[in-house]
Amino acid sequence: METMKTLLSRRSISKLAEPYPSKEEMENVYQAALRAPDHSWLRPWRFIEVVGDGRKKLGKAFIESTKKTEELDEERESKIAALPMRSPMIIVVIAKINHEKPNVPRLEQIQSTAAAAQNILIALHDLGYGAYWRTGKYSTERNEHISSELSLEKDDEVLGYLYVGTPEVEASKIPELDNKDFVTIWD
């Protein structure tokens, strides 16, 4: 029942600091991600782990992708550059879409990758770390230039960024949800 405790207590934490998970801890976290359900074993999941100065590179990709469609003044640029500095580690979540499998549409590959991302959030929470899934304006759905700025291939889609670190704050209180608002039983 430990698993249920972890699932029921996960919250997104926006204020995150050092330390971030070790290499050994991340080995297990990625293994958990790779246990996501996956139609036809396409393995669409890809991740870029960004730490240290890698965050500056990520900020540059955010800026360059925005510049393709908008004029940026210095102030906006430095605001965008600061975005990846909000946590010591960021995991870029990517779905590598295989368009040659008509029985596994793009959406199913995206669903599988989202399930892998959720496994990462749960695994990190179980290890005592905090995480926050963000897209901002930098998912492929919202920014057609981000993939190339991240040096990804044509059919790689960015589903989001998992900001990771040690929680600096308690998660805010949220209202309890009632199953009956979400679940219909057929018997």
Site string for ligand FMN, 142-161 (x = CB under 6 A): ------------------x-
Closest by CA position to 163, among listed 53, 80, 70, 55: 55
Exposure of 174 in the CB half-sphere (CA atoms within 13 A): 11
| Three-class secondary structure of residue 15 per DSSP | coil
Task: Assess 45 for contact with ligand FMN (CB under 6 A).
Answer: no
User: Does 98 sit near ligand FMN (CB under 6 A)?
Assistant: no
Considering only 57-65, 80-88, 94-102, 134-142, which stretch makes contact with ligand FMN by CB under 6 A? 134-142
Q: Is 136 in the site for ligand FMN (CB under 6 A)?
A: yes
The reply on whether position 134 binds ligand FMN by CB under 6 A is: yes
Side chain identity, residue 18: E
46 near ligand FMN, judged by CB under 6 A: no
User: Which residue spans within the chain are E strands per DSSP?
Assistant: 16-17, 45-51, 89-96, 130-134, 156-167
Q: Which of 132, 146, 164, 165 binds ligand FMN (CB under 6 A)?
A: 132
Q: Is the peptide bond before 105 cis (omega within 30 degrees of 0)?
A: no
Q: Does 111 bind ligand FMN (CB under 6 A)?
A: no
Closest CB to ligand FMN among residues 81, 133: 133
Exactly one of 6, 98, 111, 135 binds ligand FMN (CB under 6 A); that residue is: 135
- What are the strands, taking DSSP E only, across 13-155? 16-17, 45-51, 89-96, 130-134
* Separation between Cα atoms, residue 123 and residue 42, nearest integer Å: 22
Q: How far apart are CA 135 and CA 93, in angstroms?
A: 10
Cβ closest to ligand FMN, residue 128 vs residue 136: 136
- Name which position in 11, 60, 106, 145 contacts ligand FMN (CB under 6 A): 11
Residues lying near ligand FMN in the complex (CB under 6 A) are found at: 11-12, 132-136, 160, 171
